[in-house]
Structure 1
Amino acid sequence: MWHLTLQEKRAYENAMKLFIYESDEEWAQYRAYAKENDIDLYKEKKQELDELHDHLMSFLPPRFHTYVLDGTLNTPDVPNHVRVDFLGWRDEQVQLFEHILEAAFTEKQKTLAYMEPKEREVFEESLHDATIVSIHRTATQVELTFDMTGGFTAKSIISLKFNNIISEIGQIEPEQFYIYDELRKTANGMSLRVIFDCPEVEWTIEAEELDADFYYRPKTYSDFAENGNFSAYVQTLQLENGLTFITPQLKKRVIGIQQHAPFLMLENSYLYENDQGVFVDTIRVADKLDDCIHFLHTDTYEDPYAHFSEPVPIQDLEEAALGTDVELKVRAWNTMYANPVQLAEKINDILMQMNPAQEDEMMQRVFIRHFNNEGILTTKLQTKFKDLLED
């Protein structure tokens, strides 16, 4: 039996639809705010209730219906015991859904032990907020490709392939968002339930095998993603990292990079541009070449910020840390952060020269507290940065 269901997700969301202030103090503060900003508090709250009326009457316990109908449930006029009861009911719904998510997570964790490393890595990192790019089907197989731009992973593209499908319930389509999931080991293989959004659907599939594949953005991607210039971008890429050209319609390995248009050579295919757009063979993939920047992915993760971790030589630390070259400055402070004891004397010299008012307060707080925790700050520096250390 599944823990995760669309019904439970909707119950949680319905419980959160109507906002009410939780105390007389909060209502007093909002009254003052409304008066100061010429807001008709009761008109505003009535409009909120009117918009949610049908929803509220369908999912709220009957004991709250009277206060929906008389328009007081979300106002300061609702009896205190009703407000407390409503807030308690809402908290119960939140806790119930949190317990469901915890149970689904526990079930997934147990299932990961039966998976191969690549598949396990995908589900350990989470697919939350992934967007379906494409769905490819055969009689016995479903392959889903996800864009991970909005997700919580360094991966840019993830592909899930369900082989020898046993059952599938629910209708999914490209552009839907992956929200919650539960993974189970079954007697026949693996079963996955996902709650997708936009449009909302509960999708469950069981298959004998589940395979995963994934790719990353080249480290120079962020330098070109917004401003285009495909020709310059491809010249920064390294074939040895394994390049793949992935669109909603197709996936092709890149076997060569050229100095002239269309710049890429694809495996058993080719990329070209004409006045009708950009094509791979006869398949139109984009309006122009610059749009194809987003279609290139690597097999190997390249940290785009790795250069910030390159240490600055000790003799150059002071100039770099107090200078205006942003990259050098970041590298210098990272160097000191990683070696506080060895560089204690140099760090204290630099900090004595710093003007706190001219530096980023958050940056100062992180580094100053770190150095203080390492026990390297002099008494003078502790006094100088007293506000940051006590804040």
Structure 2
Amino acid sequence: MWHLTMQDKKAYENAMRLFIYESDEEWTDYLAYAKENDIDPYKEKKQELDVIRDSLMNYLPLRFHTYILDSTLNTPDVPKHVREDFLGWRNEQEQLFENILDAAYEEKQKTLVYMKPKEREVFEQSLHDATIVSIQRNATQVELTFDMAGGFTAKSIISLTFNKILSEVGQVEPEQFYIYDELRKTANGMALRVIFDCPEVEWTIEAAELDAEFYYRPKTYSDFAENGNFSTYVQTLQLEHGLIFITPQLKKRVIGIQQHAPFLVLENSNLYENDRGVFVDTICVADKLDDCIHFLHTDTYEDPYAHFSEPVPIQDLEEAALGTDLELKVRAWNTMYANPVQLAEKINHILMKMNPAQEDDMMRNVFIRHFYNEGILTTELQAKFKDILAE
């Protein structure tokens, strides 16, 4: 039996839809604000309730219906015991849904031990907010490809392939968002339930086998993503990292990079541009080459911020740490952060020259405290930064 259901998700969301100030003090502040800004508080609260009245009548317990119908539930006129009852009930619904998500998470954790390393890695991380890019299916197999741009992973593209499908309930479509999931080991293979959004659907699939593939953005992607220039971008890429060209219509390996248009050589395919757009064979994949920047991915993860961890030579630390070159400055402070004891004398010298009022919160709250906790700050510096250390 599944822990996660669309019904529970909707019940939770509807319980949380109506905003109510929780204390008399908050109501007093709101009424004062409304008066000061010439707002009719009762009209505003009635409008808020009217928008969701029908759903509240369907999901809230009967004891609150009178106060929904007379439009007082979200006003200061509702009896205090009713307001407290409603807030208590809402907190219970929130806790119930959190318990459901916790149970689904525990079920997934138990299932991970049965999975192959690549598939386990995908589900150990979150697929939350992934967007379906494409759906490929036949009688026994379905492959979902997700764009992870809005997700919580360094991966840029993830494909899940369900082989030897045993059952499938619910309809998925491109552009839906992956919200919640529950993964189960079954007697016949693996089962996955996902709550998708836009549009909402509860999708459940069981298959004998589950395979996963994933890719990353090339390290230089962020330098070109907004401003384009495909021709320059591809010259920064490295074939040995395993480049792949993925669009909603197709997935092709890159086997060569050229100095001239269309710049890429694809496996068993041709990429070309004409006055009608950019094509792979006969399939139009974009209006112009610059749009294809977003279609390139790599098998190898390259940290785009790795250069910030490159140490600055000791003789250059002071100039870099107190200078205006942001990248050098970050590298210098990271160098000192990583080597506080070895660089104690240099750090104290730099801190004596630094004006704390001109530094940002990160500098004050992270670096200074870190050096203090490492026990390298002189008595004079502790006095200089006493306000920071006292926070």
TM-score range, shorter chain: over 0.9
Map of 1:363 onto structure 2: 363
Q: Partners in 1 of 2:378 and 2:37 — Cα distance? A: 50
Q: Partners in 2 of 1:109 and 1:47 — Cα distance? A: 44
Question: What stretches of structure 2 of length at least 5 have no aligned partner?
Answer: none
Map of 1:223 onto structure 2: 223
Map of 1:336 onto structure 2: 336
The amino acid of 2:80's aligned partner reads N
Map of 1:40 onto structure 2: 40
Deviations 1:150-173 (A, max 9, x none): 000000000000000000000000
Q: Partners in 2 of 1:274 and 1:363 — Cα distance? A: 52
Map of 1:169 onto structure 2: 169
Q: Partners in 2 of 1:5 and 1:208 — Cα distance? A: 23
Count the aligned residue pairs.
Answer: 391
1:40 is displaced (CA, Å) by 1.1
1:184 is displaced (CA, Å) by 0.2
Map of 1:265 onto structure 2: 265
**Helix, strand or coil for the counterpart of 1:120?**
helix
Q: Does residue 123 of structure 2 align to residue 126 of structure 1?
A: no
Deviations 1:232-268 (A, max 9, x none): 0000000000000000000000000000000000000
Q: Partners in 1 of 2:63 and 2:95 — Cα distance? A: 21
**Helix, strand or coil for the counterpart of 1:183?**
strand
Q: Partners in 2 of 1:325 and 1:46 — Cα distance? A: 54
Q: Which moved more, 1:238-247 or 1:52-61?
A: 52-61
Map of 1:30 onto structure 2: 30
Deviations 1:179-220 (A, max 9, x none): 000000000000000000000000000000000000000000
Map of 1:6 onto structure 2: 6
Q: Partners in 2 of 1:76 and 1:370 — Cα distance? A: 48
Map of 1:180 onto structure 2: 180
**Helix, strand or coil for the counterpart of 1:195?**
strand
1:71 is displaced (CA, Å) by 1.4
1:362 is displaced (CA, Å) by 2.5
Question: What stretches of structure 1 of length at least 5 have no aligned partner?
Answer: none
The amino acid of 1:230's aligned partner reads F
Q: Partners in 2 of 1:33 and 1:378 — Cα distance? A: 50
The amino acid of 1:106's aligned partner reads E
Deviations 1:276-316 (A, max 9, x none): 00000000000000000000000000000000000011111
1:53 is displaced (CA, Å) by 1.3
**Helix, strand or coil for the counterpart of 1:269?**
coil
Q: Partners in 1 of 2:181 and 2:378 — Cα distance? A: 52
**Helix, strand or coil for the counterpart of 2:226?**
coil
Q: Partners in 2 of 1:160 and 1:244 — Cα distance? A: 17
Q: Partners in 1 of 2:380 and 2:27 — Cα distance? A: 47
1:12 is displaced (CA, Å) by 0.3
Q: Partners in 1 of 2:222 and 2:274 — Cα distance? A: 27
Identity %: 85
TM superposition score normalised by structure 2: 0.99
TM superposition score normalised by structure 1: 0.99
Q: Partners in 2 of 1:333 and 1:235 — Cα distance? A: 32
Q: Superposition RMSD on alpha carbons, in Å?
A: 0.7
1:147-296 equivalences under 5 Å are 147-296=147-296
1:37 is displaced (CA, Å) by 1.7
Q: Partners in 1 of 2:359 and 2:49 — Cα distance? A: 48
Q: Partners in 2 of 1:293 and 1:88 — Cα distance? A: 51
